[in-house]
Amino acid sequence: MYRKTVVFEPKDIEIFKDKLLSWSQQFEEVTWLDSNNYNRRYSSFDSILAFDALTSIQTDAFDAFDKLKEYQSVTHDWLFGYLTYDLKNDVERLESNNYDGLEFPDLYFFQPKKIITIKGTKVEFHYLPMVDDEVEEDFNLITNFSTDDPNRANEQNAIKIKLRIHKDEYLHKVQKMLDHIHRGDIYEANFCQEFYAENTELAPLKSYRHLNEISKPPFATFLKIRDKYLMSASPERYLRKEGLHILSQPIKGTAKRAPFLKADVQLVNSLRNNPKERSENIMIVDLVRNDLSRVAVKGSVKVEELCKVYTFEQVHQLISTVKATVTDDMNPIDIIKASFPMGSMTGAPKISAMKIIEELEETKRGLYSGAVGYFTPVGDFDFNVVIRSILYNAGKKYISFSVGGAITAESIPENEYEECLIKAKAMREVLEGKDKGEKV
């Protein structure tokens, strides 16, 4: 790849990022990953943009991982894209028969002609040789691009959000989940519900910017694949590989923020010491350890952090960090397949939990609770967990976001419902035009 490096003044880098994302909208395939300048111990870039596909792969769940493995081995290049939750049907003998209003392909990756990375104030342009003569022109177009779109400042019409599962039905379904737990069928399961709007148009980039401004998460994503969009404010990493080291950082355990410091500190301490929230997290950590042990060097799976509180704009979260080592002949796709779908969005035991989830949920999850990320030419990768996200099929004019939480033996259905509303707050504010609080 051809490479050009530009160093900006600190005051100009955010302006450049804003222009860059706006300018990229002319392309059919766009993946934008942004850390929002979180000082993360494990990261390669502050932001990365991949766009303009040379080749791509799109498939349903049948043999999806094998098809991706073949595609990755042939290209030996950067690949950007997503894995939907429903690839579970390729990993195990499972099905997804619930309603799908979004109709995203189960798997999509593309080989970009152009990649732009940002680290601190350094911007690097990585272009394939066939388009390397476009670098200077693109750079000039981006730096001179006007983001003064007269429509950008206008208020988006309020979108009427519907619930796929209403409160009474939600409480009934959580009780059914608890019945499974009390019978010993499962220990924990992640139960999700969809909020949606039909026959409704959305300004995707504007909505992403609003969501990102509200949440400022470390794994923000804007994904455009023709007429299908993801606007994600995810705080969670699914899986990262760098060299022979792999890393997973599951989230389980949530508390709302308080407007005043003293109360906020009390909420942190309460979350850190909450037996139910800790048990949720520890059960998923055990599941992640088991998943990674399938592909890791024996004895290399270690828990680096257990139930550490991380604070975001709207919530506090319990996050654990699990690390392992793999051999140099381990295929990167096999590493992902061994742990997919991620434990934080399924439950334990995993297969039983996924069967019960399919039975009780009303919507095909699709990209929600899947993963977005990239592979490098040498087989490293980094993927987030698609939560706190808005999905949009512009062709169908269908908007969707889902939220969920872990159900354990200690769960109280009313409390689980309130937690869902906390998690839904940012997406509702973006779509409905103002903060609706917790009234549904």
3-class secondary structure, 318: strand
The DSSP line for 26-73 is: GSSEEEEEE-TT---SS-S-SEEEEEEEEEEEEE-STTHHHHHHHHHH
Active-site residue 236, yes or no? yes
How many residues comprise the chain? 440
Residue appearing with tokens 């010993």: 184
Nearest CA to 203 among 231, 242, 179? Answer: 231
Produce one character per residue of 263-302: b if its CB has 16 or more CB atoms within 10 Å, e if not: ebeebbeebbebeebbbbbbbbbebbbbbbbebbeeeebe
Residue appearing with tokens 């595609």: 71
E strands along 312-375, which residues? 315-325, 347-348, 371-375
What is the rounded (10 degree) CA torsion for 210, 215, 220, 222?
-20
Could you say which of 88, 228, 252, 423 is catalytic? 252
Could you say which of 194, 236, 280, 416 is catalytic? 236
| Long-range pairs for 298-303: beta carbons < 8 A, 24 or more residues apart | 300/324, 300/325
CB of 55 closer than 8 Å to CB of 358:
no
Helix (H) or strand (E) run with residue 293 in it: helix 275-293
Active-site residue 410, yes or no? no
- Tell me the C-alpha distance between 34 and 43, whole Å: 11
**3-state secondary structure string across 7-38:** ECCHHHHHHHHHHHHHHHHHCCEEEEEECCCC
CB of 132 closer than 8 Å to CB of 122:
no
Residues annotated as catalytic (active site), given as ranges: 236, 252
